[in-house]
Structure 1
Amino acid sequence: MNFFESEILKGKYFAPKSRDRLRATMVNLFILAGAFVMLLYAYENMVYGYYVMLSVELFIILVLLVAYLVFPHYLNINHTSYMILGALTFLLSMSLIVPDQDPELSLFWLAALPIFVFFFLGVEKGIRWSTDMFIVLLFIPLVSYVTGIQFVYEWELLSQIVLGYLVVSYMLYIIESERSSYEERLNVALEENKILFKEVHHRTKNNMQVVMGLLESQSFKIDDPKYKKMFETHVDRLKAMSLMHKNLYSNHSYEEVDIQEYLEEIAQSLQTYTEYHIHTDIDPIIIDMKIAMNIGLIFNEAVTNAIEHAFEGEEGEIDISFKQIGERYSLCIQDNGKGFDTSLTYKSLGLTLIKDLSVTLPHSTIEIEGKNGTKIQIYFDTEEHL
């Protein structure tokens, strides 16, 4: 089913779960179903010798196939819809006046076309097209009377067809109007929620900065280097979380974060506290807020650990990369310091926190190496699989 919707109906060219994707798949389904129905009618007309309608139907089938082949590279959804609508309206008109053909064809398209026009072109164009079609339905019998061309239907049946068409169009108008109104109210509510979320993230970031300022002011009063460093470490953790909220209220999305921008901000913040060089190679990938928060904390802990414990001299390099490899992400933090013996039980709070945070990432694995410097490599899935 996914292959049919994505490939055959061309949903892959549009964002998942978007209205454009739904419209694209529906318009292609309409094209394929319509072409199939007309092939059946064309075969029947060929058998019974109704060659005028046969030529019309073959022309319409060709138009539908061309529309299917060029969509969406050369025609967008609206242009394709107009192309289909024009072709089928012509077919419907011909089916009402061409003698010696199966009149059931016009009944099929009279029921299908109102659904098509209201769904794909909206209420305003649906009303306009329905009005034009109503005039055509009244005009065709007049032309038949003046020219003497025999009309396919009796007047009584025609009046029933027109009445049925008007009823179907009116019902679709009501349904589409309600849907449009609901969608508009939903969009307004969504925009209001976005503003509220941005305000929440902005206030959270400001409050965290106040807490960071209090901790920093208290750290100046501490003489013991051990406890002073502890305060500074907590400030760095708060700063990593604060940057997350800053990204969320600064960008358009309040649920996703550009991981490149976020991690590079943390790296720049940490670089101001050390003479060791921090190098980043991070792809611009959009990631869920909760996952990005944990990645930022892991990043902060790993780099802080390297700054504090990896080097004995004044020179040192810390390399960080974040890449997408197929269906998984890869986060690597590596330094060229002294390393450590990974076979020993290592009770560093930083490494313990890194391991605990890595477990929260979707189907994650973590590798820690201590030869020729320390290397922390974490792999996890691009999305949560049930």
Structure 2
Amino acid sequence: MKNDLYHRNTQQLFLRLTKLFFMISLIIISVDTYESYKHHFYAMVWLEIVALLAQVTGVVLYYFRMITLRAFASILIISVSILVVLALFIIGENPEFSLFALAILPVFIFFFLGTENGKKFTVFMVFMILLALLNSHFRIIEPIIFPSSLYLEILIGYAGISFLHYRFEEYRQNFQTELLTFSRSQKTLLKELNHRVKNNLQMIMGLLLMQSNRVKNEQCKKVLSSQANRLKAIGLVHEQLSGNNRPTTVDIEAYLKSIITTLQLLTRHTIILEVEKGLTMDTSTATYIGLFVNEAVSNAIEHAYLPDTKEEIRVTCLTEDKTCRLMIEDSGQGFSGSDTSNSLGLSLMEAISDYLDESFITIDPQNGTRITLEFSLKKNHEKLLDSDLL
């Protein structure tokens, strides 16, 4: 999850900087084009129009997904850089603009193009500035925009700034590589841990079931089987996580389906499951949800209907406005208040509700039984993020 979050944040940063660079360059070049046209610097006007057309073409191609965001950023960088370099040879209304642009271009060049392409492009830029220096010294192309001494300072300054940004970007990329390597190793260890936990829980379940087959007291058999089912609900979380590419989040639909499949083997009643597509939760929340469903459905199987009947038990898990609503309902005979206070399963469900933030349970015994658990997805997601940071 951290790995995905890092990539998502990096992409958002790249997109925002690309938009910012495009808007700034579009405004500045448009204003300078108007000023150059007004003062009859037509050569510069044509160059700036070509640069604007290149940028607008890049926007259109990216909008229709014909090029990638990185390709669009490269078009912006190349068009602006070439325009700035040519401004060292061809006079316009604001020649000082090229000096400002040369000071900030290395930041965007190395960020957008990367270290390898950034080095190649920097060599090209330095070569062009060197040509401008030679032109100023030997006066090959007139008029001369800046004196030779200023071109020399521009050359040294640009090379120095580019080197600093190259080193910074190299450090950032190395740190990113180390971070991703560490993240992958942590993910592998976590998957292995989930696999071991699943195996240990299965061994304990086997011991409980073996013991339940040996005891003759029906109440003891019932207690041991209930404990085995609870461990099964917990073990299913770790079973899903051990084979998941994101070993900190659980697909609730697949998880609850596994629990319902296990419980369906214990009853002739039909258990119907409805879960919102794509709903995921962190490991802890999913485990508690699984235990809650296991207890509620087990109670319905045992108490809701008369023997030798075949009815329905419905499980629903949906979200609305960052709130999750989990509902288990049947149309059976319901239960009394004394059943509510003495039931271990209901006590466990209340304990689960206490763990989840901004949660509450409602039990409606009319026309069967409907148990509803509501809790805040946002608060429990924040709790997950806090635990990740720790």
Shared fold (TM-score greater than 0.5)? yes
Which residue in 1 is equivalent to 2:163?
170
Deviates more, 1:146-155 or 1:267-276: 146-155
Following superposition of structure 1 onto structure 2, how do residues 25-104 of structure 1 map, counting pairs within 5 Å?
25-42=16-33, 44-45=35-36, 48-61=39-52, 63-64=54-55, 67-68=58-59, 71=62, 73-74=64-65, 75-104=67-96
Q: CA deviation at 1:150?
A: 2.4
Provide the C-alpha distance between the structure 2 equivalents of 1:206 and 1:343, rounded to a whole number of angstroms. 38
Which residue in 2 is equivalent to 1:308?
302
Question: Contact 2:359/2:374 (CA < 8 Å) preserved in 1?
Answer: yes
Which residue in 2 is equivalent to 1:381?
376
1:68-109 CA-to-partner distances (Å, cap 9, x unmatched) read 566455242211111101210221123111124322111121
Which residue in 2 is equivalent to 1:368?
363
Unaligned runs of 5+ in 1: 1-13
Which residue in 2 is equivalent to 1:278?
271
Task: Find the residue that maps to 1:333 and give its secondary structure.
Answer: strand
- Residue in structure 1 matching 2:240, options 228, 247, 253: 247
Following superposition of structure 1 onto structure 2, how do residues 173-322 of structure 1 map, counting pairs within 5 Å?
173-282=166-275, 283-314=277-308, 315-322=310-317
Q: CA deviation at 1:118?
A: 0.5
Provide the C-alpha distance between the structure 1 equivalents of 2:141 and 2:37, rounded to a whole number of angstroms. 26
TM, length-normalised to structure 2: 0.88
1:100-158 CA-to-partner distances (Å, cap 9, x unmatched) read 43221111211222111101121111111111112222234556758533232211111
Q: CA deviation at 1:46?
A: 5.3
Deviates more, 1:289-298 or 1:48-57: 48-57
Q: 1:147 to 1:285 in 2, by over 3 A?
A: same
Unaligned runs of 5+ in 2: 383-390
1:288-339 CA-to-partner distances (Å, cap 9, x unmatched) read 1111111111111111111111111321211112122232222111112111
Task: Find the residue that maps to 1:339 and give its secondary structure.
Answer: coil
TM, length-normalised to structure 1: 0.89
Question: Contact 1:258/1:285 (CA < 8 Å) preserved in 2?
Answer: yes
Task: Find the residue that maps to 2:182 and give its secondary structure.
Answer: helix
- Residue in structure 1 matching 2:131, options 139, 157, 164: 139
Aligned alpha-carbon RMSD (Å): 2.5
The one-letter code sitting in structure 2 at the alignment partner of 1:280 is L
1:190-230 CA-to-partner distances (Å, cap 9, x unmatched) read 11111111111111111111111111111122212112101
Q: 1:16 to 1:181 in 2, by over 3 A?
A: closer
Q: CA deviation at 1:15?
A: 8.5
Question: Contact 1:31/1:68 (CA < 8 Å) preserved in 2?
Answer: no
Identity of aligned residues (%): 31
The one-letter code sitting in structure 2 at the alignment partner of 1:150 is P
Task: Find the residue that maps to 1:102 and give its secondary structure.
Answer: coil
Which residue in 1 is equivalent to 2:386?
none
Provide the C-alpha distance between the structure 2 equivalents of 1:214 and 1:343, rounded to a whole number of angstroms. 33
Task: Find the residue that maps to 2:198 and give its secondary structure.
Answer: helix
Matched pairs, number: 373
Q: CA deviation at 1:187?
A: 1.3
